[in-house]
Amino acid sequence: MKKWGELALGIVTSIGGFLEVGSIATSAQGGAEFGYQLAWVLLLGTLSLAMLMEMTGRLAAVSKRTYADLLRERFGFRFFVVPLVAVFVVSLLVLMSEIGGVAIALQMASGIDFRWWAIPIALLGWFLLWRGNFSIVEQGTAMLGLVAISFAVGALVLHPTWPTLGRALLPSLPSHDHARYWYLAVAILGASISPYLYLFYSAGAVEDEWTIEHLSVNRVTAGAGNVFGGGLAIAALVTAALVLAPRGIRVEHYEQIALLLATPLGRTGFVLFIATLFVTCFGATLEIVLAMAYLLAQGFGWSWSENLKPGKDARFSTSYSVLILLAALPIALGADPLSLTNISMVLTAASLPVTVVPLLVLMNDGDILSSHVNGWPSNLALVVMGLLSLVLLVAALPLQLLGGG
């Protein structure tokens, strides 16, 4: 019975945790400019993330160590510095974007400029991390994040053309604006496969004291949760394709995205959109800042756990305290949240090789995983993801320059 409870909770966590500022913004932009056509990218991103989470969760459950911890131990600290710096920098940018997303939600609701909200949001986040525990961060925000299901309701009310949507799940070439199409494809992938997601998941498995007994929970959570969560991102894309694309509206400002749900669901949709943006971005803020603090603590061998009193893991607690305030500063100074989101999603995609490629080595290490090493299908999937991540690394910067405007 306890296991079923954990299973349900895991799925809810994944659904609630999937949508955040990056996936909402890039899905809306993709739907507004290319209709359903970029749905295949969301499917690819969702399946990739599900596999990466299953593997890092399995690694943590069997070894009782986090992915970052094993990365440093297996490859040495000199190698570990590369993913540490890459993931740290892109996660900081994504963290700024998430704080920007929460601030925009509050601006839409109150009329008070988003810049004024950045520091209060950081302080509220810090307070919850300082006083709360892992369950509050993981489950509390994810439960509230279920409000994101409103995107699915919005899409259904608009009656999408299912055969066209089905065809869009297979890759296709654009009929116009190739650079913009591929730029958005990279940004959507960056939003779907953020390294912080599987680093946080892996640390969470250790925080929740997973063992080999939890492997089935891990498989179902990573699989079903992400498929449902990815479905919500596709629903956001479908809604944009049906509300914004026919009118020729491109998403140039966050403020335009609220029209997505206000059109099919009226005032309720408008309120649900603001709630979704607030809750999902705030939840992601807490997860990212914790993932960054975990990465630092595990990399440098500090004591760490969100379940410990701050005094027991002072360097870990200091890290998240400084990081959340640091990330709020650019937003408080007026950085444009949508531009920041787009740039951070593309750079996230470019950073993937440093965490995806070493995973192939770890997932085949019998000393760590014994009989739970990857089979050939998982290895094949990981090789494909590794190659994809290398393509993204090469393509991200030119596409940012050619299609980002």
Partner 1 sequence: MSAPRRALLALVALFVSAGCGSPPPLDKRLETLGSWTATMQLAKERHGAGAITVTYATQLRDAADEAFQQASTTIGSSARTRTDSAYAATALDSLRNAIRQLEAEIGS
Q: SS3 for the chain, per residue? A: CHHHHHHHHHHHHHHHHHCCHHHHHHHHHHHHHHHHHHHHHHHHHHHHHHHHHHHHHHHHHHHCCCHHHHHHHHHCHHHHHHHHHHHHHHHHHHHHHHHHHHHHHHHHHHCCCHHHHHHHHHHHHHHHHHHCCHHHHHHHHHHHHHHHHHHHHHHHHCCCCHHHHHHHCCCCCCCCCHHHHHHHHHHHHHHHCCHHHHHHHHHHHHHCCCCHHHHHHHHHHHHHHHHHHHHHHHHHHHHHHHHCHHHCCCCCCHHHHHHHHHHHHHHHHHHHHHHHHHHHHHHHHHHHHHHHHHHHHHHHCCCCCCCCCHHHHHHHHHHHHHHHHHHHHHHHCCCCHHHHHHHHHHHHHHHCHHHHHHHHHHCCCHHHHHHHCCCHHHHHHHHHHHHHHHHHHHHHHHHHHHHCC
CB nearer partner 1, residue 311 or residue 405? 405
CB nearer partner 1, residue 113 or residue 209? 113
In whole angstroms, how close is the CB of 179 to partner 1 at the nearest point? Answer: 9
In whole angstroms, how close is the CB of 177 to partner 1 at the nearest point? Answer: 9
In whole angstroms, how close is the CB of 398 to partner 1 at the nearest point? Answer: 7
CA atoms within 13 A on the CB side of 388: 18
CB nearer partner 1, residue 375 or residue 405? 405
Which token pair is 174?
A: 């654009």
Residue 158 neighbours by CB under 8 Å, 6+ apart: 238, 239, 242, 243, 263, 264
In whole angstroms, how close is the CB of 190 to partner 1 at the nearest point? Answer: 19
In whole angstroms, how close is the CB of 45 to partner 1 at the nearest point? Answer: 26
CB nearer partner 1, residue 11 or residue 346? 346
Other C-beta atoms closer than 10 Å to the C-beta of 246 total 10
CB nearer partner 1, residue 274 or residue 363? 274
In whole angstroms, how close is the CB of 260 to partner 1 at the nearest point? Answer: 10
CB nearer partner 1, residue 110 or residue 216? 110
Site residues (CB under 8 A) for partner 1?
107-111, 243, 247-250, 252-253, 255-256, 258-259, 262-263, 266-267, 269-270, 397-398, 401-402, 405
CB nearer partner 1, residue 37 or residue 194? 37
In whole angstroms, how close is the CB of 251 to partner 1 at the nearest point? Answer: 9
In whole angstroms, how close is the CB of 107 to partner 1 at the nearest point? Answer: 7
Phi, psi (degrees; rounded to nearest 5) at 73: -65, -40
In whole angstroms, how close is the CB of 305 to partner 1 at the nearest point? Answer: 41
CB nearer partner 1, residue 248 or residue 375? 248
In whole angstroms, how close is the CB of 309 to partner 1 at the nearest point? Answer: 42
CB nearer partner 1, residue 165 or residue 397? 397
CB nearer partner 1, residue 155 or residue 362? 155
